[in-house]
Amino acid sequence: MKQITRITVGTLATAALLAGGTAISATAATAGTTGTTGTTATGTASTAAAPVTTSAYISSRKAVQIAKKRVPGARVSKVERDWEHGQRVWEVELRKGAWEYDVYVSARTGKIIKLKRDYDD
């Protein structure tokens, strides 16, 4: 009986993965569900919502808002996407008077990673 149950659970996990599921679906299948509408190991119908993972990044417009909040009254001279400290950032270059500011805003969290200030003669 144990061998039949293991084969059924393994078959459900394989079916979930082939149907476009993820490792989460396989984990749910071993617990008795498939992660989508389907049957459990005991043969009853179940519905479980698979969690959706998104890697949402902030827009350049939002990065500019964050940078201008940090350096009020400055005007934007350049915005580009870059890597800093191993993560995606928006590099926002601002000018205020004779000062030039480079504000690095995390593209994922919106936090300021780095701020450089240079005096331009």
Closest CA to 15 of 31, 48, 39, 46: 39
Return the pLDDT at 5.
Answer: 42
| Number of domains forming the structure of the chain | 2
Shared-domain flag, residues 42 and 72: no
- Please determine, for residue 85, whether its predicted confidence score (pLDDT) is greater than 50: yes
pLDDT in tens, 92-114: 999 999 999 999 999 999 999 99
Task: Quote the tokens at residue 50.
Answer: 């698979």
Task: Quote the tokens at residue 20.
Answer: 């476009």
**If you average pLDDT over residues 53-62, what whole number do you get?**
82
Shared-domain flag, residues 36 and 79: no
Q: Is residue 54 part of a domain?
A: no
Q: Is residue 53 part of a domain?
A: no
Least confident of 34-38, 48-52, 84-88: 34-38
Strand partners, 87: 84
